[in-house]
Amino acid sequence: MKFTSYISIAYLAIFLPAVILLYTILPKKVRPFVLLAASFTFFWFISEWLICYILISIVSIYLIALWLNKLKDKRNALVKEAENKEQKKAIKKKSGRNQLLVLLLGVLINIGILAVIKYSPFFFVNVNLFLKLIHSSARVSVPAFAAPIGLSFYSLQAVSYIHDVYKEKIKADKNIGRVALFMSFFPVIMEGPICRYADTAEKLWSGERLHYRNVTFGAQRIAFGILKKIVIADRLNIIVTTIFKDHEAFNYDGGLILLGAILYTIELYTEFSGTIDVVIGSGEMFGVTIPENFRQPFFAKSISEFWQRWHITLGTWFRDYIFYPVTMSKPMKKMTKNCRKKLGRDYGPLPASIIAFFCVWLCNGLWHGAGWEYIFFGMYHFALISLGSLILPLSNKLLAKLHIDRHKLPYKIFTILRTALLVCIGEMIFNSRGLHDALGMLKTLFTRFTFKSIFDGSVLSLGLDGHDIIILCVTLAIVLTVGILKERGKDPRELIASTPIFVRWPIYMLLVVYTVVFGAYGAGYIPIDPIYANF
């Protein structure tokens, strides 16, 4: 049995039901080991011998965390025995330095493995390009490594665990099984979300029995995720692949390039969020609350807000472990203090924030992939967010002068559409085949923009017919309706659950039948591989 996606027969019809059955029939004490065994089995199915990488990560953070705890206990004991404040201060300083070195060792092991496997080929390719540029005949061999699926996700989870132990937000866990299950829980291992130890570890290991509500609500979440993935994303994959692959050969105009960018953004959202729905639904069945990764991102009114709603767990990881440490460092605090005196209250904090944003978005771009197009993608968002921060005070003054209320519906709609357009351009860069390709598409978008190819019937020659377009529009309307309800603070699942059984079950059956009938599979359709699993 080989898993290529959470939205596969192997996972949904065989693996997940088998784990649920075993979990249900076995005693409470055994259930955590059922999840642990299932997780390692699942990882073996998707990566085989590459399971060794996650085992190294688990063992390293387990030992590093215990080491940190030991240093803290030793520090506390010595502080108690100290005779004066100077001794206490010296003990704390030495202990703090030792703890930092141990933390850095743990980070080096986990991020080092990620860097070597994912980024060393990119580094050596660029070394060869530089040597060629200076007309040197020297060349270095470019290594090739087999990368396990989910490496980028569980590496960040590993760092968050040891960092939180270092900061004394949590205590080091002496139960290596609980650490291993936190790191390898099978629903999140491929595409996240990035979990925090304090939020999920105890619940995963509790072995609580299954509840009817959890199972039914989890199944509903899974069904909705499947709808988004195979009815929308897999169907859009045809036209998106055609536009991005052949835009130079067929000399597409800017209008068609923009359409491709918009459709790819929708494809990416429905594939990734659909998969996350399956992930969260799977966890919910076992009573585990996996953090949300999306919160109606296309209702965002700025790029900054968009990234607070899209891939939320990655954004909060970068916020907590890169942005805050950079802005709260002594040099940045000193800079902010000086800048406040010279630039005032509004602009004083901006230089430190912009430097921190640069670090975040450089890392964000590289996290998504080892390529210049991903760095460009990160710098694109860095520029937009930095520019937004710089002009915000001026924008507020201008709106006040023009008597424009930013809380009124027309202005909200304008900002939502503006943000969505900027996001789509960013995703066009993201999906390009390289930096040269990304720059070429941008050039076409801005120098040869016309709607001619959209309205002359050319779209229907790109792989989808009129029936496909109708199905897409209807399904997108369903997804939009669910998003509007959530944005208004209403849970569609709760609303459905509150209806009589003769209403509720036909809705469930209609969802399943609609997905089966209108799903994009069979001749002419190529299912998308998990997009974010590759990152």
Complete DSSP assignment for 507-534:
HHHHHHHHHHHH---STT--PPP-TGGG
Query: For the residues of 51-100, what is the DSSP string, one character each?
Result: HHHHHHHHHHHHHHHHHHHHHHHHHHHHHHH-SSHHHHHHHHHHHHHHHH
Other residues' Cβ atoms within 10 Å of the Cβ of residue 324: 12
Specify the amino acid at residue 282: S
CA distances from residue 396 to 311, 404, 415, 522 in whole angstroms, order as listed: 28, 10, 14, 53
7, 221 contact by CB (below 8 A): no
Query: For the residues of 293-307, what is the DSSP string, one character each?
Result: -BS-GGG-SSHHHHH
120, 143 contact by CB (below 8 A): yes
Q: Work out the burial of residue 440: count CB atoms within 10 Å of its CB; fewer than 13 is exposed, 13-18 middle, 19 or more buried.
A: middle
Q: Is 252 helix (H, G, I), strand (E, B) or coil?
A: coil
CA 495 to chain centre: 28
Residues 6+ apart with CB under 8 A from 43: 51, 54, 148, 150, 184, 186, 189
Q: Give the pLDDT score at 402.
A: 81
- Report the candidate in 7, 4, 534 with the shortest Cα–Cα distance to residue 270: 7
Cα separation, 412 vs 405, whole angstroms:
9
Q: Is 186 helix (H, G, I), strand (E, B) or coil?
A: coil
- Report the candidate in 219, 226, 227, 224 with the shortest Cα–Cα distance to residue 285: 219
Q: Is the peptide bond before 331 cis (omega within 30 degrees of 0)?
A: no
The partner residues of 310 in beta bridges, in order of sequence, read 294
pLDDT along the chain (535 residues), means of 10: 76 94 94 96 90 95 96 87 81 89 96 92 87 82 83 94 94 95 94 91 92 92 94 91 75 86 95 95 94 95 94 95 91 86 80 92 92 93 91 82 84 93 94 86 86 76 84 95 93 89 89 88 66 65
Residues 6+ apart with CB under 8 A from 112: none
Residues 6+ apart with CB under 8 A from 282: 6, 16, 186, 187, 218, 222
- Report the candidate in 433, 445, 293 with the shortest Cα–Cα distance to residue 376: 433
- Report the candidate in 58, 50, 289 with the shortest Cα–Cα distance to residue 158: 58
Cα separation, 191 vs 178, whole angstroms:
21
CA 116 to chain centre: 21
Cα separation, 492 vs 65, whole angstroms:
41
Cα separation, 515 vs 523, whole angstroms:
17
First-residue to last-residue Cα distance in the chain: 23
The C-alpha angle 160, 162, 164, rounded to 5 degrees, equals: 65
Residue 294, phi then psi, degrees to nearest 5: -140, 140
- Report the candidate in 65, 36, 29 with the shortest Cα–Cα distance to residue 198: 65
Other residues' Cβ atoms within 10 Å of the Cβ of residue 385: 20
**Alpha helix locations (H) across 369-491?**
372-401, 409-430, 435-447, 452-455, 466-487
Q: At what angle do helices 254-285 and 212-226 cross, to 10 degrees?
A: 160
Query: For the residues of 338-351, what is the DSSP string, one character each?
Result: HHHHHHHHHHTTHH
Q: Give the pLDDT score at 29.
A: 94
- pTM for the complete prediction? 0.91
